[in-house]
Amino acid sequence: MPAHLFKAVAVSQLNPRQKEAVLYIDGPCLVLAGAGSGKTSVITRKIAYLIEQCEIPARNIAALTFTNKAAREMKERASKLIKGNASKGLTVSTFHNLGLNIIRREHKSLGFKPGFSIFDSEDARSLLKELMLKDGDLDSDHLDLVQHQISNWKNDLVTPERALGMAQSQGEQTIAMIYLRYNQALRAYNAVDFDDLILIPVELFQTNPDVLTRWQRKIRYLLVDEYQDTNSSQYLLVQLIVGDRGALTVVGDDDQSIYAWRGARPENMSQLKQDYPNLRVIKLEQNYRSTSRILRVANHLIANNPHEFDKALWSEMGLGDPIRVIRCKNEEAEAERIATEIITQRLQKQYKFRDFAVLYRGNHQARLLEMKLQHHQIPYKMSGGSSFFAKTEIKDVMAYLRLIVNPDDDNAFLRVINTPRRQIGTSTLEALGGYASERQISLFAALDEVGLQSRIPEKNLERLQRFAHWINQVKRNCSGSAPVDAIREMLSDIDYEGWLHQNSNTPKAAEKRMENVFYLVESLQKSLDKSANDDEDEESRIEDAIAKLVLRDLLERQEEEDLSDQVQLMTLHASKGLEFPHVFMVGMEEDLLPHRNSIEDNNIEEERRLTYVGITRAQRTLSMTLAGKRKQFGEMSETTPSRFLDELPPDDVEWEGFGEQSPEKNIAKGEETLTNLLNLFD
């Protein structure tokens, strides 16, 4: 297709700024994309343009984002735009998935055995706990603090040695020592944690120019979505891959940076200007989601934050209704008001339940809302429920799979050894653990050693060795031509279904849990089918498929969409990237939004960005509520309205319950509501 023809077709539905962002390839490009400005269209069309017009093969293009769901959607949309098989080989993945692929390909130069394990936060936590208790350095009450600090160090590319050198107090020194031992233990287990998936590739690229050159040749053009959410190590990974070629497009919005607590650095966007002086900045300011009034309120609020890049969202979707700020007597009245508003609006205007979303700062605010919605028989869905991979049965089967791939995975070994029961007691496992520690080998490897006979009674040892022999047999079966059949056979051998029936409240619950297991096995089969054409041997394919499942577990934590007719309840953080016709933002009070911790840490700017994210989720109407009194520490206390309410433009806001209105107006409003309700039954 001639260039001019492609341009006409591919960008015909785009506005001038979006077109500019798609067609600019002469250097690094920052697309400053406001909420609802069509950034996914820009990324997907740019991918199509690079493949079809610039003739860069799809296998040499990578697009990175932060969730599996976003990556899936992006890949699907890009593939639809690209003719025939030209999109084959295109990488659209999360940062962590790319990191996993790099470590898998380069495992030899990194000193890993094939089939290394990925520790999730629970695995990492139990390893840290074990180390801390063993050495008696710190009370395990400090576990969260230690885990968080180690994660921060890894995200900031701080090695254990450097952390020790930087330590300014006894406490910091102790945590740095735990970090050192924790990393050593991971290596001994042939394992990496979640943060390592970025850190290790960065360190590899910094120290091995040949490997870096190979990956730079592989990824000739890089696109990054949600750039404002990158941390230090992710920024460096991007920089290393791109090198001095400048073949880079990043898309982000510094006003929607709300993950500082996870290490995100919105300043990475201004850093780009310094690192790439020829950076082209393109602003997407036209919003396709919300009314002008909602955008005016959002722009007015966020203008109180300092800005490296100025932008103002606008829309052609009409002025729309004023924003309502409703003050209720107490938190119960607030929850009741939201429930009755939803019922009234649904009856009056024929809205669906799924048209409403209720957003809050912290999950604890949902309890009262849930009670009221249940009372009024309003169906609802809470985002952030239990993940598929957090279910006990899935964790059990995943532990078996991890052990098959990497017998040195002690966490997996301990989870499955008595699931189902094999009459192996805790004293036997303690003796095995003690012996393995002395010999500095894994629990599984210790079962092969003659010296173990002197530590464990013959009968108990026989049970352990029988288990080891069986695992080895399953491993051999999995390396054949039908690994998934071997896994099904393994589940039948241990009668896992019978075990679930013994350990579930009802037969129906047991069946449902077994269905989850079958779904997992099918996912594994699908993953293998996808990689059938790869030039890897059977064994590494099954290892790869299991590694991907583990990673999906870490990243996904159930991102499936539920399209049934339910009111959506979620935190402001969880709402990012979503949109709803009618939004309620609850708890607009000091200490809630902005949160007390942010006030104390002087981090009001991030809380303002979080409020901005909440406002820009609304398409048609936005209501903000607050309670005059709220229970704190078991007592009812007076609240203070959020400072952010003072930052809203007065002409666009209707205030209710603040006492400014005349009694006549209040009576008239009450009569109007009553009349409307009565009319419904005429």
Active site residue 267: no
Active site residue 256: yes
- Selected catalytic residue, list 18, 19, 20, 39: 39
Residue matched to tokens 């296998």: 59
Closest CA to 592 of 643, 541, 530: 643
Active site residue 617: yes
| Structure letter (DSSP) for residue 2 | -
- Selected catalytic residue, list 123, 193, 226, 355: 226
**Residue 233: both structure tokens together:** 């190590």
CA dihedral 342, 348, 351, 356 (to 10 degrees): -20
Please tell me the distance from the alpha carbon of residue 157 to that of residue 97, in angstroms, as a whole number: 19
**Residue 322: both structure tokens together:** 């004023």
Active site residue 39: yes
Buried b (16+ CB within 10 A) or exposed e, 532-571: eeeeeeebbbbbbbbbbbbbbbbbbbeeeeeeeebbbbbb
**Residue 79: both structure tokens together:** 């593939």
- Selected catalytic residue, list 216, 230, 256, 419: 256
Please tell me the distance from the alpha carbon of residue 241 to that of residue 229, in angstroms, as a whole number: 18
- Selected catalytic residue, list 193, 225, 254, 607: 225
Q: What is the DSSP string of 416-452?
A: HTTSS--S--HHHHHHHHHHHHHHT--HHHHTT-GGG
Closest CA to 181 of 152, 210, 146: 146
| Structure letter (DSSP) for residue 308 | S
- Selected catalytic residue, list 75, 372, 548, 617: 617
Please tell me the distance from the alpha carbon of residue 559 to that of residue 385, in angstroms, as a whole number: 10
Q: What are phi and psi of 329, to 5 degrees?
A: -60, -45
Helix/strand/coil percent split, the chain, to 5:
55, 15, 30
Active site residue 213: no
CB–CB of 379/590 below 8 Å? no
- List the catalytic residues: 39-40, 225-226, 256, 617
